[in-house]
């Protein structure tokens, strides 16, 4: 896969702050996109990233989750499952489009446009080192961690 630098972006984040990509540059970063707060697959994925978070930090890596949900929804999701990392709101899909994660999907027999569950690992230079698209939530956080530990 060709290595590709990601353009800087800023999104509203939990905790009442804006998340800016490039101040993170001292460490690697997992950016995971998920369809919706508090749905079964998204909850499983978030809990597994939460449970492995200390190992990510030990590997010099931060995590952020991104969906189109509001900050209020993100704050509730984060509190309910004690998520230690920031959730970012991309209501206008700017960053979703930057990463190309918006797709036509079937949901309950209807065509809908939504986020394809995807994860990207960026190195400290903001370059995508690995990506996963259309993935299954369960077990994914461990697979990503195994890759991050090789950086």
Residues 144 and 123: beta-carbon distance below 8 Å: no
DSSP string, 16-56: TEEEESGGGTTSEEEEEE-S-TTSHHHHHHHHHHHHHHHHH
What integer pLDDT is reported at residue 140 of this predicted model?
Answer: 96
What integer pLDDT is reported at residue 22 of this predicted model?
Answer: 82
What integer pLDDT is reported at residue 23 of this predicted model?
Answer: 72
Q: Is 42 a catalytic residue?
A: yes
* Annotated active-site residue in 11, 42, 46, 86: 42
Distance CA 7, CA 108 (A): 35
Distances (CA, A) of 139 to 28, 122, 128: 20, 20, 21
CATH class of 30-148: alpha beta
Distance CA 116, CA 138 (A): 15
Positions in the chain whose pLDDT score sits under 50: 1
Q: Which residues contact 139 (CB under 8 A, 6 or more apart)?
A: 48
Q: Which residues contact 18 (CB under 8 A, 6 or more apart)?
A: 10, 11, 12
What integer pLDDT is reported at residue 31 of this predicted model?
Answer: 97
Output phi, psi for 6, to 5 deg: -95, 135
What integer pLDDT is reported at residue 25 of this predicted model?
Answer: 66
Element (H, E) at 145: helix 140-148
């Amino acid at each position: 896969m060709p290595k590709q630098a990601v353009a800087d972006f800023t999104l509203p984040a939990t905790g009442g702050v804006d998340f800016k990509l490039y101040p993170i540059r001292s460490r690697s970063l997992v950016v995971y996109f998920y369809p919706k707060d508090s749905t079964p697959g998204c909850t499983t994925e978030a809990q597994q990233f939460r449970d492995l978070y200390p190992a990510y930090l030990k590997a010099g890596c931060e995590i952020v989750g991104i969906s189109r949900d509001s900050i209020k929804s993100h704050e509730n999701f984060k509190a309910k499952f004690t998520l230690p990392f920031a959730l970012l709101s991309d209501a206008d899909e700017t960053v979703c489009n930057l990463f190309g994660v918006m797709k036509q999907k079937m949901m309950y027999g209807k065509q809908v446009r939504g986020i394809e569950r995807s994860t990207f690992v960026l190195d400290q230079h903001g370059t995508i080192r690995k990506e996963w698209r259309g993935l299954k939530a369960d077990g994914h956080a461990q697979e990503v961690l195994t890759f991050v530990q090789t950086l």
